[in-house]
Amino acid sequence: MPDPLMARPSAPPPRPLPVLVLADVSGSMAEAGKIDVLNRSVATMIRSFADEDTVRGEITVGVVTFGGGGAALHQPPAPAAEVVWEDMLPRGRTPLGEALDLVNGLLADENVISRRAFTPTLVLVSDGLPNDDWRDALERLLASPRGGKAVRLAVGVGQDMDEEAFDVLRAFIDDPVIQPVRADEAHLLSRYFSWVTMSVTARARSDRPNDTSHMSFDELEDLLG
């Protein structure tokens, strides 16, 4: 019998450092291997996060898809080490607005994203124009305390991304310092996710995970260049 003093001692749990991926799974993502690269990239990112031995933050990952069946919580936010990844299947249209509302709901729910959490990172991946009312949903997200503060990143994948589609990504990022990234070829998507992995990991390792001012975009240019 251990000393009653020693009854179930526990260390303070690390604070979550949430990453939420908003993944376009419309029918067009099936073309040119885009969805396959996206599945592989996200799975690789989750594995890297799971291997990370961080000090103050524990990286959690969630994935919201938007496609034929509307927006869905494909992977509920969970510590990376606990995620068993299942591939996303593409079909149907591009209901971005629904996805934004779903993400907004997740961010607002303290049972999903604890108040202990560090500033979340949102990564939007899309291959074309949305076809629902995304503007109002985006406004709601940006006006919310957590959605507004979140680090928002976006990448446009494939040949169908025109300026209008990139404008949607710019509106989502809503920060002139951060530009949406162009991944004309599907394989560039995996490089993009390596960069996301690297920059989130650097934050989790640092003593100030909420300080996002040092994000390095030069390295991103090197990777995609």
Build a one-symbol-per-residue string for 175-204: x at contacts with other proteins by CB under 8 A, - elsewhere.
Answer: ---------------------------x--
Q: Which stretch binds other proteins (CB under 8 A): 84-92, 113-121, 125-133, 163-171?
A: 113-121
Burial of 7-18, coded b for 16+ CB within 10 Å and e otherwise, reads eeeeeeebbbbb
How far is it, in rounded angstroms, from Cα 123 to Cα 53? 22
By the 8 A CB rule, do 31 and 158 touch?
Answer: yes
How far is it, in rounded angstroms, from Cα 150 to Cα 18? 10
108 binds other proteins (CB under 8 A): no
How far is it, in rounded angstroms, from Cα 94 to Cα 216? 30
Nearer to other proteins, 86 or 222 (CB): 222
9 binds other proteins (CB under 8 A): yes
Nearer to other proteins, 15 or 74 (CB): 15
By the 8 A CB rule, do 123 and 103 touch?
Answer: no
Chosen residue from 111, 176, 207, 225 binding other proteins by CB under 8 A: 207
Build a one-symbol-per-residue string for 119-138: x at contacts with other proteins by CB under 8 A, - elsewhere.
Answer: --------------------
111 binds other proteins (CB under 8 A): no
Chosen residue from 70, 166, 205, 224 binding other proteins by CB under 8 A: 205
Nearest-approach distance from CB 204 to other proteins, in angstroms? 9
Q: What is the number of other CB atoms lying within 10 angstroms of the CB of residue 119?
A: 15
109 binds other proteins (CB under 8 A): no
How far is it, in rounded angstroms, from Cα 139 to Cα 104? 10
Residue list 34-63, contact with other proteins (CB under 8 A): 53, 55, 58
- Secondary structure (DSSP) of 129-141: ---S-HHHHHHHH
* DSSP 3-state of 170: helix
Total residues found in the chain within this entry: 225
End-to-end CA distance of the chain: 62
Chosen residue from 108, 131, 184, 208 binding other proteins by CB under 8 A: 208
Give the interface with other proteins as residue ranges (CB under 8 A).
Answer: 1-3, 5-6, 9-15, 53, 55, 58, 79, 115-118, 202, 205-211, 214
